[in-house]
Amino acid sequence: MSRMEIEIRKGTREDLPAVLALVHELADFEKAPDAVTNTIADMEEDGFGPNSVFQFYVAVVDGKIRGVALYFTKYSTWKGKGLYLDDLIVTEKFRGKGIGKKLLDAFMMEAIRSKAKQVHWQVLDWNTPASDFYKKVGARIEPEWYDCKMDEIEISSYTFG
């Protein structure tokens, strides 16, 4: 059996359909298949428009995108510039083959290159394989912090004043 070749490279506009397909696969895995409202057009504007807000790496195996690490710059008043890893996704059939680690390596190299003072991401409390992977690479999982979120509905009904 031959060794699988994994290419990690910066993502391009042409990669977005495959990336969005991975996002939908993740939403299914996380039992929220209807939660994804993002579109390729939104991702093109947000990732490649004049005010781009995210970047990503893709993992290519056999000419197909099998994983993605999507991130953006964040800022902490306590620590300074950081990177936020919004999603690290590897398609189910290719998990456990080192693709996630290679994508995380690329993200961490970007943090070093950009002189980030911290990196941050989240993992669901029930996703034991992901939690174990992150602990293995030295990440702290901090249970005392709660996520605060608002979606479009809450944003539009926010009360000012």
- The pLDDT tens digits for 129-158 are 899 989 999 999 888 888 888 888 899 999
Q: Write down the mean pLDDT value for the chain.
A: 94
Q: Is 71 a catalytic residue?
A: no
* Active-site hit among 57, 71, 84, 134: 134
Look up the pTM and report it. 0.91
Q: What tokens does 113 get?
A: 């290159």
Q: What is the DSSP string of 18-61?
A: HHHHHHHHHHHHTT-TT-----HHHHHHHHHSTT---EEEEEEE
- Of 80, 78, 71, residue with least CA distance to 122: 71
